[in-house]
Amino acid sequence: MSILSHFFSPSVPSEPPCETIPSLPSSSVLCAKHQDFPPKASRATTNLMPRALLFAVLLAASLALHAADPAPGSHAAAFSGDGLTKADVNTLQDTQLVAHPDVPLKPTNNVIWCGTLQLAWNEAIKLVGSKLEFTEQPPVADLLNREDFTHKDLNPGSYVAIAGFEHNHVEDQIRAALDKVFHGAASPELIPPVPPHPGPYDFVAYAYLFKNLQFPQVFEDNDPLNFPGAEKGVQSFGFLGENKEKLKPGVFQQVRIYDYKGPDDFVIGLKTKDPQDQLILAKVTPGDTLNSTIAAVLARFIRQDKVIYAQERDNLSIPKLNYDLAKNFKDLEGLTLKPGPNTPVQNLVTSEVKQLVRFQLNEKGAVLKSEAVIVMMSAAMAQPLDTHEMIFDKPFLILMKQADASQPYFAMWVGNASLLIPAK
């Protein structure tokens, strides 16, 4: 069993089960086109300021949602807009969205992984008939070819993963699968448009995941929590100080303390309405990689002999999260796929590899939605679809000349902003 599979398999405790928050949505798309605690008073969260520590939220999956006015009952409608951070991860200096968790972990960075891209990759492997090998193989492709995370790590009713050739109308197959599993509630964003002239081996591999894990009883909002880098603190929830008086006794029983070594080193589980999922939070010193950190936390989480429930004397304060992130994996784009048993051609190229992750954690529960897309097409077709970024945000040259002249009549090198018009 892979390291990650432990995270998605519910434990069988001797005490009442620790349910996790309903799963969040996540989706991944791969398109290929013919290129031709010790029982003592635990102060688990009195101080959540990690020194060289990692605040880890481990979930079965992670997903992204991008809808302005979501339809009632849709996956998009499960999210709140309060405090939402929406961004392209490539524009963020301290946040990473990674294709595989076996990557170096910098403790002061946010590092996010969701299994949807791996699910899409797995489907592509099945369609091609072999591991995905490229003429220039990036290390991340070898990691994805390990297929560490598979459909066996998920409940069948929480995801869709499918791959098919364009000539078989794969986009229609994807939409039909989403409707069958989610009964019209899915909110996909990365299903690619149908190409006007697809090659015989152009294909799309797609995965979508949604999890909505709600707490049986709502926690209370806490006062702002001091967290490194936040001058005014951050919003948080749990039970702390006077707000404990507002809570029903059952709220404390929603927190199971699996291993507690001190206020800066502990692992807890939060019970949700869905017993098939687990929501784990760990304040620990991170390992060298995200994978090793996950493994170390899960090793402490599966210990059932010393599990205790939180009591009213304990304190809990968890930062709220609400983000909608997107990323193009540039190191996986522009790669030429080597011929496989079912794709005996020399010119299939990854023209786009993209993933969306929408995640929310607050006093009500956790919601996740994520999509990832890899578009592969023939070299002749891929070039016109390239995106051109023409942003003059660095020094540049301006020339003016007659069409039939050999020399310009005006030239300017714009090296700084002193002559540019300031923004209002």
pLDDT at 397: 43
Cβ atoms of 195 and 224 closer than 8 Å: no
Q: 129-163 pLDDT, tens per residue?
A: 999 999 999 999 999 999 999 998 888 999 999 99
Q: What DSSP designation does 219 have?
A: P
Residue keyed to tokens 């849709």:
74
- pLDDT, residue 305, reads 66
Q: Residue 235: its pLDDT value, please?
A: 86
The CA distance from 290 to 97, in Å, is 12
Report pLDDT digits (tens) over 89-124: 999 888 889 999 998 988 888 888 899 999 999 999
- The whole-number pLDDT of residue 176 equals 96
Side chain identity, residue 352: E
CB 94 within 8 A of CB 110: yes
pLDDT in the model for residue 162: 92
Per-residue pLDDT at 391: 43
Ordered DSSP codes for 6-21:
HHHSPP--SSS---BP
Count of all residues that appear for the chain in the document: 424
Bridge partners, residue 284, by sequence? 54
Hey, where are the domains in the chain?
A: 3-214+320-385
Tell how far CA 198 is from the center of its chain: 30
DSSP 8-state code for residue 142: H
pLDDT of residue 56: 43
Phi (first) and psi of residue 124, to 5 degrees = -65, -40
3-state helix, strand, coil in the chain (%, to 5): 20, 35, 45
Q: Identify the pLDDT of residue 3.
A: 44
Element spanning 170, H or E? helix 170-182
Q: Identify the pLDDT of residue 380.
A: 59
Sheet of strand 316-319: strand arrangement: 220-225, 234-239, 316-319
Report the chain's mean pLDDT, rounded to a whole number: 77
Cα of 251 vs its chain's centroid, Å:
28
Cα–Cα dist 334/71, whole Å: 36
Closest CA to 59 of 353, 355, 220, 297: 297
Kind of pairing, strands 95-98 and 110-113?
parallel
Q: Which amino acid is at 297?
A: V
- Note whether 225 and 233 are within 8 A (CB): yes
Give the type of residue at 265.
Answer: D
| 82 C-beta neighbours (distance < 10 Å), count | 10
pLDDT < 50: residue spans in the chain: 1-27, 29, 31-68, 382-392, 396-402, 404-406, 408-415, 420, 424
User: Is residue 87 classed as helix, strand or coil in its secondary structure?
Assistant: strand
- 266 is written with which tokens? 């502990």
Return the pLDDT at 6: 40
Q: What is the pTM of this model?
A: 0.76
Q: How far apart are CA 75 and CA 187, in angstroms?
A: 6
